[in-house]
């Protein structure tokens, strides 16, 4: 078992220390601690209500923790530095696309919002990267869920962020859409971009990741190098979490204590 806490250095892309988040009497995060080095891909698994989306929102600067600290790309997320926003890309449940605009029109709009030079050229380059050049002039409302997800990725990486957050990107995808998305994520990872993803898809998550975590009741009950995990062992533990049979703090030396 590896410890989620690593010494701080210039190669750390994400560093989280004892992060808590409460909504009134309801607690979403309970002291999560971990760090991720530049270029690493972490997938967080966990049941609905485990606090995964809340964690991503805090790291993206879209919510504030109740207590604890977090740094992304060298920036303190609590300070709200606009420079941090330029270092991150976010793909959430909502696509954030305009259905009556074409794929390339959507990307041109966002390129201008990011203040990018030559927005048309940047938009075309991004749409080519996700394999949709042939459909770039079609309206987004005519796209399948998988195609919309690929346009969302193009939108999120238009400004070349160093950190990418993906919240359940495989939800609602058919097998072909999931395979296309996996290939796109492999290419983004090859570019040494740091990626943090939440998903219920065990096969995809294990295949893509350098590290994996299991989050339950606002805590990490597992944080491990993906290469150290046998799929059947991981599945057994994960389904124990889903069935609520795993006792709290059952993973010796695990993070989030």
Q: Which of 48-52, 234-238, 247-251 is modeled with the greatest confidence?
A: 48-52
pLDDT tens string 180-224: 888 888 888 877 899 999 998 888 889 899 999 999 999 999 899
Query: 251 pLDDT exceeds 80?
Result: no
pLDDT grade for 245, boundaries at 50, 70 and 90: low
Higher pLDDT, 6 or 139: 139
d(CA 238, CA 229): 12
d(CA 2, CA 140): 43
Counting residues of the chain whose pLDDT is more than 90, the rounded percentage is 57
What residues form DSSP beta bridges with 215?
A: 220
Higher pLDDT, 12 or 174: 12
Higher pLDDT, 11 or 18: 18
Query: 33 pLDDT exceeds 90?
Result: yes
Locus of tokens 């805090």 = 58
Question: In this predicted structure, what is the pLDDT of residue 7?
Answer: 39
Question: In this predicted structure, what is the pLDDT of residue 129?
Answer: 86
- In which region does residue 133 sit, left (phi positive, over 0), alpha (psi from -120 to 50) or beta (all else)? alpha
103-113 vs 145-157: helix crossing angle, rounded to 10: 20
d(CA 4, CA 33): 6
Question: In this predicted structure, what is the pLDDT of residue 230?
Answer: 80
Question: In this predicted structure, what is the pLDDT of residue 209?
Answer: 93
pLDDT grade for 9, boundaries at 50, 70 and 90: low
Counting residues of the chain whose pLDDT is more than 70, the rounded percentage is 91
d(CA 33, CA 231): 24
State the CB neighbour count (10 A cutoff) for residue 224: 20
pLDDT grade for 66, boundaries at 50, 70 and 90: very high
pLDDT tens string 46-63: 988 899 999 999 999 999
């Amino acid at each position: 078992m590896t410890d989620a806490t690593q010494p701080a250095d210039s190669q750390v892309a994400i560093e989280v220390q004892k992060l808590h988040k409460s909504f009134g009497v309801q607690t979403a995060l309970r002291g999560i601690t971990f760090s991720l080095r530049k270029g690493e891909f972490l997938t967080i698994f966990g049941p609905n209500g485990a606090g995964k989306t809340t964690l991503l929102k805090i790291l993206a600067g879209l919510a504030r923790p109740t207590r604890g600290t977090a740094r992304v790309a060298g920036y303190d997320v609590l300070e709200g530095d606009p420079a941090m926003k330029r270092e991150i890309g976010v793909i959430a449940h909502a696509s954030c696309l305009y259905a009556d605009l074409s794929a390339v029109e959507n990307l041109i709009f966002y390129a201008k919002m990011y203040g990018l030079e030559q927005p048309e050229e940047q938009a075309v380059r991004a749409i080519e990267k996700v394999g949709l050049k042939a459909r770039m002039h079609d309206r987004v409302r005519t796209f399948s869920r998988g195609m919309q997800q690929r346009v969302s990725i193009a939108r999120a990486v238009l400004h070349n962020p160093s950190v990418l957050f993906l919240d359940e990107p495989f939800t609602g995808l058919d097998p072909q859409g999931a395979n296309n998305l996996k290939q796109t994520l492999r290419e983004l990872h090859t570019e040494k971009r740091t990626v943090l993803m939440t998903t219920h898809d065990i096969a995809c998550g294990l295949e893509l990741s350098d590290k994996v975590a299991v989050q339950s009741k606002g805590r990490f009950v597992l944080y491990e190098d993906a290469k150290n995990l046998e799929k059947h062992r991981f599945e057994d533990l994960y389904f124990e979490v889903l069935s609520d049979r795993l006792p709290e703090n059952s993973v010796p030396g695990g993070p989030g204590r």
